């Protein structure tokens, strides 16, 4: 991998500006039931069908912590190489909204369950560490539906009370590309851990983006704006680009940046002021008296650490060492747990390096075209390994392999069967090939003479003829050798 | 039998068990009493048909092994009762019918009793005179101009007027003990966490605790045994073995050390209250207990601390009454914010609004440290005062209230003087301790006065025993003329 230089700056008339970004990622905890109630968390149920008396805040209802959500947060904390706090407190964040039944959100304020940690990013200019400030647990709100009726708003409380992990980064990110890599890395870690499905379309992963700018070389941070609730990486990147440019323009025109909360309008591709610092909510945080402080025994924390699966960074190291892959290949193949599992299954049965090349080439292209996850791949890992082996052993050529691959996708058949039934086996018998080549040379004596007179470009013509005659099955390497030998003679 | 309701719960249970009276006869007698006591305004809702039905079922298939066999009970309207309207004394819940039963009332029903009706109370239990209820004042059977105390005023009034054989209330800062004191009855606030809060309309979560209100100490033990117990639905519930308070009741208190805190002698306290306290000390001493002077130095900060912590929690707990999902919703309001404003303005009464405002203020940024955080620190000091004292004593004896029942309207325009009524009761809630108010005598006007016994956490049995011994020897009889019927 060639090392590039980091180069993301906003160019103003008065100089270059560095963009400083911090993310507050809201990741929905994978759990069967909600953070403080027994209601199901399944996505896509009819409105208000997964709502308990607690989620809808009926009089006298009390929250009871869901142990599994706590464990998921601890696992995620370990995945972020973070400090797990033995003592944490649930607080009430008070504000009124129609989809917030309690009139407060139970969250963690001063004492979060997870403290400082770090995430490693692989950037074209080298690896970069992003600091994690904290991770805390909180309840999700319900959903207000404004477009079902011209004059009324409807409320769906299915989401109300579902556990979220808010993962707060330090202001260590410097470009939309780094944000992209960071979100993908977080998502990958959580999917490996099984603590969040990372499904951005369903809202399982969304982020508030804090953006500020400063002159290149400045050490003090500029005034930041927070862009609320952005739910795709693309929108995050667009919002950052817009917001950074807006801030630079303000500075260049001698204007002040107001610390405020902004919204990203995805249709107009711009951020708009939502509320200023003066109008900021006073959430009146205080410890929730319905819940005792959460005390975690060190043994539980340690046991959860021991039971963690292998995470992407470790797996990447192992792929380089064990399979002889380069850093780039290893990085791609560990990005999703399902991809790495598929690769390892293929690599067990075939050439490790060739398997990586073919997976990252044809297989990924095909999946991408069809919009499929690797778990839905029409080609099983076992069949794919057979194909790789067929190439490696010289049974088929690369070109034929592509044809076989296409047929595998359509039919789901194993490659052996396809190669045999369609007679696609590579011709690798030197005697047979020599015979064929001699035939071609004798038919094209004029061209042979020209070649011998120095027109070496004609070599390609002869190869083409061999392929044509063999139906593409001639072993290319052998063909080259024999052609060279015979043309010399 | 001349009057089957003019007796203690324990006697009534005996009468049912020995078939001197059927559950139906008993229920009918209470219904008759309730119907002729409308002037007291103790009930918000009655459930007579349902009660008679349950009584009949009991009589057909009686189970005398239960703690409360076939006993009709009215309860404070702060307990959610399945399919029976639950108002918390507020307009904002005037149409609220829960689909669930509070753990405490469920425990009572599981022990053989059934619901007779829902008792009036101060709105969201915020008050010391039952004058903040949306459903009108409750009258103290002791006198037609007197408040019954609060917030469990309907409970104390109904109990003293024989409208229920026993009842339950909730106590956040004295709401069981003060009304018990005002009506010459027994009231116990258990250790925080002994009775589940699940299904009780919340006022201040870290202070709220349900407890029994009865005519005698023995009744109190029976009721406590019936209603208490661990509940996994309440994270602050204490997980411990259930105790048999009534079976273990003993009147021998010889050698017990009773602390007498000097800080409970306050300025302007009527002489009679002081004298009564003296009488209480003498009785306990004569029974072989040892009196020990103690100091609880932070007592004077208890009231201001309480009036920060309780409103703070209340301001948040009451945010759910927004007109969106249940309860009262104003017909006016053009948008969401206006709907909230109108709903809550029309739905809440003045005292509730006052406390929401205080609570919101003390939690606001810039004030949090000076008020809420400081109050939490002082709360720890108050708790520590008790912890230190309990190293050398078994229980503490104090007056329950600084005066007897006051007149209706006397303090409604002066909230602070109303709040002062809780001066002896709030420290106990802040410390999470159990405390019992027991009738001990009357003042010059013949109005009842109570004494308070404070125990160590989970030491309910001990204060019940002391109360039991005291009751037998104090010679107090609550004589209430039935002027209302």
Please report the DSSP string for A411-425 in residue order.
Answer: H---HHHHHHHTT--
- Region of B315 (left: φ > 0; alpha: ψ -120 to 50; beta: rest) is alpha
Asked whether A263 and A274 are in contact (CB, 8 A), the reply is: yes
| Res A304: pLDDT | 98
Q: Is A145 on the interface with B (CB under 8 A)?
A: no
| Res A432: pLDDT | 85
- Per-residue CA distances from A459 to A426, A438, A473, A477 (Å): 21, 14, 18, 13
Nearest to B348 by CA among B84, B203, B174, B132: B132
Asked whether A323 and A347 are in contact (CB, 8 A), the reply is: yes
The 3-state DSSP class for residue B445 equals coil
State the nearest Cα–Cα gap between B380 and chain A, in angstroms. 15
Q: Is A150 on the interface with B (CB under 8 A)?
A: no
Asked whether B92 and B123 are in contact (CB, 8 A), the reply is: no
State the nearest Cα–Cα gap between B234 and chain A, in angstroms. 6
Average pLDDT over residues A360-371: 95
**pLDDT, tens digit, 9 for 90 and up, residues A161-219:** 999 999 999 999 999 999 999 999 999 999 999 999 999 988 899 999 999 999 999 99
Q: Is B235 on the interface with A (CB under 8 A)?
A: yes
The answer to whether residue B6 sits within a structural domain is: no
Say which CATH number the domain at B176 has: 3.90.1300.10
Average pLDDT over residues A301-314: 97
State the nearest Cα–Cα gap between B111 and chain A, in angstroms. 22
Q: Report d(CA B426, CA B431) in Å as an integer.
A: 9
Tokens for A293, please give them: 């402080």
Nearest 5°: the CA angle A229, A168, A226 is: 40
Would you say how long chain A is, in residues?
489
Asked whether A171 and A182 are in contact (CB, 8 A), the reply is: no
State the nearest Cα–Cα gap between B355 and chain A, in angstroms. 15
- Say whether A59 and B313 touch across the interface (CB within 8 A): no
Per-residue confidence band for A23, with pLDDT thresholds at 50, 70 and 90 = very high
Residues 6+ apart with CB under 8 A from A279: none
Where is mean pLDDT largest: A374-383, A390-399, A415-424? A374-383
Q: So what's the ipTM on this one?
A: 0.96
**pLDDT, tens digit, 9 for 90 and up, residues A93-150:** 999 999 999 999 999 999 999 999 999 999 999 999 999 999 999 999 999 998 889 8
Asked whether B86 and B121 are in contact (CB, 8 A), the reply is: no
Given the structure tokens 């005292």, which residue do they identify?
A: B351
- Say whether B235 and A98 touch across the interface (CB within 8 A): no
Instruction: Show the domain range for B95.
Output: 14-485
- Say whether B316 and A101 touch across the interface (CB within 8 A): no
List the 369-428 stretch of B: residues with Cβ below 8 A of A. Answer: 372
Is residue A92's pLDDT more than 90? yes
Q: Judge residue B63's burial from the number of C-beta atoms within 10 Å of its C-beta, 0-12 exposed, 13-18 middle, 19 or more buried.
A: exposed
Q: Is A61 on the interface with B (CB under 8 A)?
A: yes
B243 alpha-carbon distance from chain centroid: 21
Per-residue confidence band for A1, with pLDDT thresholds at 50, 70 and 90 = very low
Average pLDDT over residues A292-316: 97
Q: Report d(CA B346, CA B359) in Å as an integer.
A: 19
Is residue A449's pLDDT more than 60? yes
Q: How many Cβ pairs closer than 8 A exist between chain A and B?
A: 94
Beta bridge partners of A20: A212
Cβ-based contacts of A53 with chain B (< 8 Å) = 99-100
Asked whether A79 and A195 are in contact (CB, 8 A), the reply is: yes
Cβ-based contacts of B364 with chain A (< 8 Å) = 282, 284
- Say whether B235 and A155 touch across the interface (CB within 8 A): no
The answer to whether residue B137 sits within a structural domain is: yes
- Per-residue CA distances from B248 to B108, B187, B394, B468 (Å): 20, 19, 17, 11
| Res A419: pLDDT | 87
The answer to whether residue B192 sits within a structural domain is: yes
Phi first, then psi: what are they for A148, rounded to 5°? Answer: -90, -20
- Say whether B236 and A292 touch across the interface (CB within 8 A): yes
DSSP state of B264: G
In tens digits, chain B (485 residues) has pLDDT values of: 458 999 999 999 999 999 999 999 999 999 999 999 999 999 999 999 999 999 999 999 999 999 999 999 999 999 999 999 999 999 999 999 999 999 999 999 999 999 999 999 999 999 999 999 999 999 999 999 999 999 999 999 999 999 999 999 999 999 999 999 999 999 999 999 999 999 999 999 999 999 999 999 999 999 999 999 999 999 999 999 999 999 999 999 999 999 999 999 888 888 999 999 999 999 999 999 999 999 999 999 999 999 999 999 999 999 999 999 999 999 988 899 999 999 999 999 999 999 999 999 999 999 999 999 999 999 999 999 999 999 999 999 999 999 999 999 999 888 888 888 899 999 999 999 999 999 999 999 999 999 999 999 999 999 999 999 999 999 999 989 999 98
- Say whether A59 and B201 touch across the interface (CB within 8 A): yes
Phi first, then psi: what are they for B471, rounded to 5°? Answer: -55, -40
- Say whether A284 and B235 touch across the interface (CB within 8 A): no
Per-residue confidence band for A369, with pLDDT thresholds at 50, 70 and 90 = very high
The 3-state DSSP class for residue B1 equals coil
Dihedral angle, C-alpha B277, B279, B284, B289, nearest 10 °:
80
Cβ-based contacts of B340 with chain A (< 8 Å) = 96
| Res B269: pLDDT | 84
The answer to whether residue B160 sits within a structural domain is: yes
| Res A178: pLDDT | 97
The residue in chain B having the minimum alpha-carbon distance to the alpha carbon of residue A156 is B325
Q: Is B197 on the interface with A (CB under 8 A)?
A: yes
| Res A46: pLDDT | 94
CATH code, A430-488: 1.10.10.410
Residue B384 parent element (H or E):
helix B374-389
Q: Report d(CA A381, CA A379) in Å as an integer.
A: 7
Beta bridge partners of A230: A207
The CB-side HSE value for B468 (13 A sphere, CA atoms) comes to 21
Selecting from B197, B235, B319 the residue whose C-beta is nearest the C-beta of A291 gives B235
Catalytic residues of B: 76, 151, 175
DSSP state of B190: P
Selecting from B234, B235, B324 the residue whose C-beta is nearest the C-beta of A65 gives B235
The residue in chain A having the minimum alpha-carbon distance to the alpha carbon of residue B234 is A62
Cβ-based contacts of A61 with chain B (< 8 Å) = 198-199
- Say whether B325 and A56 touch across the interface (CB within 8 A): yes
- Say whether B236 and A53 touch across the interface (CB within 8 A): no
Dihedral angle, C-alpha B267, B270, B271, B273, nearest 10 °:
-100
Residues 6+ apart with CB under 8 A from A277: A258, A259, A260
The answer to whether residue B7 sits within a structural domain is: no
Given the structure tokens 């996994």, which residue do they identify?
A: B232
| Res B82: pLDDT | 98
Q: Report d(CA A168, CA A209) in Å as an integer.
A: 10
- Per-residue CA distances from A257 to A17, A22, A173, B149, B209 (Å): 15, 17, 20, 58, 51
Tokens for B238, please give them: 């204490």
Residues 6+ apart with CB under 8 A from A464: none
Asked whether A300 and A307 are in contact (CB, 8 A), the reply is: no
- Per-residue CA distances from B78 to A292, B125, B181, B316 (Å): 23, 8, 20, 17
Q: Please, what sign has the CA dihedral across residues A431, A433, A438, A439?
A: positive
Cβ-based contacts of A286 with chain B (< 8 Å) = 312, 316, 363, 368, 372
How many domains, in total, are found in chain B? 1
Q: Report d(CA A61, CA A154) in Å as an integer.
A: 23
Q: Report d(CA B322, CA B360) in Å as an integer.
A: 16
Given the structure tokens 């007109």, which residue do they identify?
A: B323
B3 alpha-carbon distance from chain centroid: 26
Per-residue confidence band for A433, with pLDDT thresholds at 50, 70 and 90 = confident
- Delimit the domains of chain A by residue range: 9-305, 310-421, 430-488
- Say whether B197 and A62 touch across the interface (CB within 8 A): yes
Query: Is the preceding omega at residue B5 within 30 degrees of 0, hence cis?
Result: no
List the 285-324 stretch of B: residues with Cβ below 8 A of A. Answer: 312-313, 315-316, 318-320, 322, 324
Tokens for B384, please give them: 């520590």
């Amino acid at each position: 991998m060639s090392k590039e230089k980091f180069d993301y700056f906003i160019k103003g008339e008065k100089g270059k500006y560095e963009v400083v970004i911090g993310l507050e990622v809201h990741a929905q905890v994978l759990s069967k039931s909600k953070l403080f109630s027994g209601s199901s968390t399944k996505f896509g149920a009819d409105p208000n069908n997964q709502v308990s008396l607690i989620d809808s805040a009926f009089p006298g209802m009390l929250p009871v912590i869901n142990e599994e959500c706590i464990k998921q947060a601890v696992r995620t904390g370990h995945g972020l190489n973070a400090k797990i706090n033995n003592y944490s407190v649930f607080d009430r964040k008070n504000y009124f909204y129609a989809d917030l039944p309690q009139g407060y959100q139970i969250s963690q304020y001063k004492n979060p369950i997870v403290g400082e940690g770090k995430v490693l990013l692989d950037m074209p200019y080298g690896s970069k560490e992003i600091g994690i400030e904290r991770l805390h647990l909180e309840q999700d709100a319900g959903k207000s539906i404004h477009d079902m009726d011209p004059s009324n708003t409807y409320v769906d409380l299915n989401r109300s009370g579902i556990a979220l992990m808010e993962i707060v980064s330090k202001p260590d990110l410097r470009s939309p590309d780094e944000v992209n890599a960071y979100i993908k890395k977080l998502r990958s870690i959580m999917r490996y851990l099984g603590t969040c499905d990372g499904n951005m379309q369903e809202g399982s992963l969304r982020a508030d983006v804090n953006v500020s700018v400063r002159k290149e070389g400045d050490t003090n941070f500029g005034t930041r704006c927070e862009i609320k609730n952005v739910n795709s990486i693309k929108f995050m990147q667009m919002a950052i680009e817009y917001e950074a440019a807006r801030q630079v323009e303000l500075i260049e025109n001698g204007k002040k940046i107001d610390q405020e909360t902004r919204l990203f309008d995805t249709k107009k591709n711009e951020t708009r002021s939502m509320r200023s610092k003066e109008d900021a909510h006073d959430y009146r945080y205080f410890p929730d008296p319905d819940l005792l402080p959460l005390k975690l025994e060190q043994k539980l924390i340690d046991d959860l650490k021991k039971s963690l699966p292998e995470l992407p960074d470790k797996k990447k190291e192992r792929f380089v060492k064990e399979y002889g892959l380069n850093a780039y290949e290893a990085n791609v193949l560990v990005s999703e747990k399902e991809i790495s599992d598929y690769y390892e299954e293929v690599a067990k049965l075939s050439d490790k390096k060739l398997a990586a090349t073919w997976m990252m080439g044809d297989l990924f292209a095909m999946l991408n075209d069809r919009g499929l996850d690797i778990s839905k791949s029409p080609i099983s890992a076992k069949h794919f390994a057979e194909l790789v082996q067929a190439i490696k052993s010289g049974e088929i050529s690369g070109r034929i392999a592509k044809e076989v691959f296409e047929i595998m996708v359509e039919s789901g058949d194993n490659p052996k069967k396809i190669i045999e039934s369609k007679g696609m086996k590579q011709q690798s018998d030197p005697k047979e090939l020599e015979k064929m080549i001699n035939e071609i040379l004798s038919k094209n004596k004029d061209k042979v003479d020209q070649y011998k007179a120095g027109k070496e470009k004609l070599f390609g013509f002869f190869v083409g003829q061999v392929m044509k005659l063999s139906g593409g099955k001639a072993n290319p390497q052998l063909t080259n050798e024999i052609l060279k030998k015979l043309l010399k003679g | 039998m001349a009057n089957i309701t003019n007796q203690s719960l324990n006697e009534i249970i005996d009468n049912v068990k020995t078939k001197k009276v059927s559950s139906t006869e008993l229920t009918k007698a209470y219904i008759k009493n309730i119907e002729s006591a409308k002037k007291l305004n103790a009930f918000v809702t009655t459930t007579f048909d349902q009660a008679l039905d349950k009584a009949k079922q009991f009589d057909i298939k009686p189970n005398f092994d239960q703690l409360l066999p076939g006993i009709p009970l009215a309860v404070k309207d702060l307990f959610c009762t399945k399919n029976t309207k639950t108002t918390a004394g507020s307009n904002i819940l005037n149409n609220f019918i829960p689909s669930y039963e509070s753990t405490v009332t469920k425990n009572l029903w599981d022990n053989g009793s059934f619901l007779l009706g829902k008792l009036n109370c101060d709105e969201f239990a915020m008050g010391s005179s039952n004058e903040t209820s949306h459903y009108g004042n409750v009258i103290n059977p002791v006198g037609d101009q007197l408040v019954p105390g609060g917030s469990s005023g309907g409970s104390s009034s109904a109990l003293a007027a024989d409208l229920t054989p026993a009842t339950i209330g909730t106590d956040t800062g004295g709401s069981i003990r003060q009304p018990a004191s005002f009506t010459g009855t027994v009231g116990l606030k258990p250790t925080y966490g002994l009775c589940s809060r699940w299904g009780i309309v919340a006022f201040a979560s870290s202070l709220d605790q349900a407890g029994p209100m009865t005519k005698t100490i023995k009744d109190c033990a029976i009721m406590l045994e019936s209603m208490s117990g661990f509940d996994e639905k309440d994270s602050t519930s204490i997980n411990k073995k259930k105790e048999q308070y009534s079976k273990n009741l003993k009147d021998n208190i010889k050698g017990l050390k009773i602390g007498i805190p000097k800080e409970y002698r306050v300025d302007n306290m009527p002489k009679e209250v002081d004298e009564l306290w003296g009488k209480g000390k003498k009785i306990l001493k004569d029974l072989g207990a040892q009196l020990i002077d103690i100091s609880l130095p932070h007592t004077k900060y208890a009231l201001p601390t309480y009036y920060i912590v309780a409103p703070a929690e209340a301001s948040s707990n009451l945010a759910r009454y927004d007109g969106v999902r249940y309860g009262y919703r104003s017909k006016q309001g053009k948008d969401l914010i206006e709907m909230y404003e109108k709903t809550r303005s029309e739905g809440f009464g003045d005292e509730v609004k006052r406390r929401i405002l205080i609570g919101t203020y003390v939690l606001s940024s810039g004030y949090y440290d000076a008020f809420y955080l400081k109050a939490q620190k002082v709360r720890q000091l108050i708790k520590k005062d008790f912890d230190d004292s309990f190293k050398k004593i078994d229980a503490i004896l104090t007056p329950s209230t600084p005066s007897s029942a006051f007149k209706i309207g006397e303090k409604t325009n002066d909230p602070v003087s109303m709040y002062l009524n809780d001066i002896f009761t709030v420290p106990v809630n802040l410390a999470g301790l159990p405390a019992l108010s027991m009738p001990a005598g009357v003042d010059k006007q013949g109005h009842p006065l109570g004494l308070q016994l404070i125990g160590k956490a989970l030491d309910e049995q001990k204060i019940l025993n002391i109360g039991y011994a005291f009751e037998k020897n104090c010679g107090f009889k609550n004589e209430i003329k039935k002027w209302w019927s």
